[in-house]
A and B are shown apart, each in its own frame.
Chain A
Amino acid sequence: MKKYIALFRIRFINGLQYRAAALAGLTTQFAWGFMEILSFSAFYRANPAAFPMEFSHLVSYVWIQQAFLALFMPWGVGGNAVETIVSGNISYDLARPMDIYNRWFFETIADRVSRATLRCAPILILASILPLPFRMKLPSDLFQFSMFLISVPIAMFAVTAYCLIDYMSAFYTMSRYNAIFVIVADFFAGGYIPIPFFPEPVRKIAELLPFAAMQNMPLRIYSGDIAGMDAVYGIGLQLFWVTVMIAFGKLLMRRSLKRIVTQGG
């Protein structure tokens, strides 16, 4: 375990040094969140009855999403796993007494946490002092808040386990970007619009997919859209999908390593 913590530490320190990137990300995410809320508010004013979430729930959903974007986004993190595959540097990683899957998992988590650490606070502070309809609220009670706190890491593990499957596809394709992998996950995890806004039959299916175990769950628990026992069931679903995706990922890793080829020295 110590070695994974050491890896996490060096990666975390490495991530903290990119201050300019953090500032740029911060501005983008704040502007993005604000525009998203404004456009949703236009829909809400047109017909509040056709709006599937309470407006205040939606506002919290968007702000938490933007503040913790780095924890949940299915793109742009842990990219050097793919690079080691494509460049062949994976030779060195394989010459270490370390499980490659676990290693990438920890590295990706470290990337996510270090980025979120730099970015979340200013967005959270700004979002909680905005004028009212746009202001982020605290969860309704302590239960809801603790459910949120449990759900966050599981959602992060879920999206990371999914990303790792995506990285491993590079063993077969030698390609760096698999846009379809990212877009499907982002869409069905409620990254563009929250799942309650999906049309009925699609929504029912989407609620059960592995993507529902990603940002969808903690964001809706925080905002109060999923409350009480539903939150407990939701976390159960998350645990189920995380287990399935990690098991599948480890299996895929074992198969991939058997047929791995490294060329050119």
Chain B
Amino acid sequence: MTDVVPQTSLTAANDAQVEPKRLRSPFERFGLTGRPLRTANWLGVVAGVYVLITAVELIGSGFKASTGSAAEDLFAFASNPFVALMVGVLFTAATQSSSTTTSVTVGLVAGGLPIEIAIPMLMGANIGTTLTNTLVSLGMARDRESFRRAFSAATVHDFFNLLAVAIFLPLEMAFGLLQRASSWLAASTSGGDGGFVATAFSAVGTAVDTVTEPLANLLEAGTSFLPDPWHGVLMIVLGIGLILGVINWLGRLLKVLMVGKAAEMLHASVGRGPISGVASGAAVTMMVQSSSTTTSLMIPLAGSGTFSLKQVYPFTVGANIGTTITALIAAFAFTGAEGELALQAAFVHVLFNVFAALVIFGLPLLRQVPLRGAVWLGDVAATNKLWAAGWVLGVFVGVPMALIALTAVL
């Protein structure tokens, strides 16, 4: 722990002039308050999950319709794992939502996208999602010391996820570690012959599929005026649009609904060890369904010095794990063989993040690497902004685009 007394909170300092910003439910526009508002918010969450699952189903059907049995040909450009990785980075950086990338990938895998291509894309989602809190930290560049702390707190997430990919992508290419583990896990938890868990998963999947089928069919019929493959492409585009919208919608409602519980969880973790930090990061992220939100909310707190980099780091690792819940929910859009594939893709994301936490955060030597990288980058970026600009443009735009272009040319 530290004996550095934190600076006055930036938000507290602004209190005298500006009324603090408050979370608002979209239903407040209708004049709802108290219990009716809470009920409406929960119904909104249920509707959001329903639309999310339907949209994932739509993407799966759309992908099948647009490619027929030629899914591998369509994604041949991404058969190079580095290109697939960069597709995941760029798509997530552009949408600022790893949940969108993972949900779309789950739908595509169920529709026929080979899992070997999906795995690097899911890893790329982890890197792309770190852009959001890095951009939030740039807003603190006016005060050098605050910026140094904020940029370090943001980039510890970048370094952790880059290191995770640097370790697990080669392992995946050499041994198919995640593919094998997720395949076993998906087979054990789906289908009718896998014991109680599989039966329960299967029953939930069938029930969800029955409920979401009508809307999915309606949307599919609504786009059938186009000939194939454009019909399928339109379904995919519509599905991605719906997922983007609904992830945003769910985030807004869940923040309003879960802010109290999240605060309780954070209060309980103060003064405890890093394991508690990981747990609270995972729990808060599951509650608000967005790792970008939870990691971004720590940036001003780290910038003001209230939370140290060592405290933000485990919280960030937990956020990586917490965000994997969305892909698992999305996997319920499918049943049978498709369901098993979708579940496998979701488990890839879960296992990748759990393994990364165990290996990098669990081994003292590796645990220090993201911390040292973030401290160094925070120091040089605070002295010279070009380092920060170069990092953002290089990691999230330049390198991914250059790699994709290079592969296209070669």
Partners in one complex: no
B interface vs A, CB < 8 Å?
A: none
A interface vs B, CB < 8 Å?
A: none
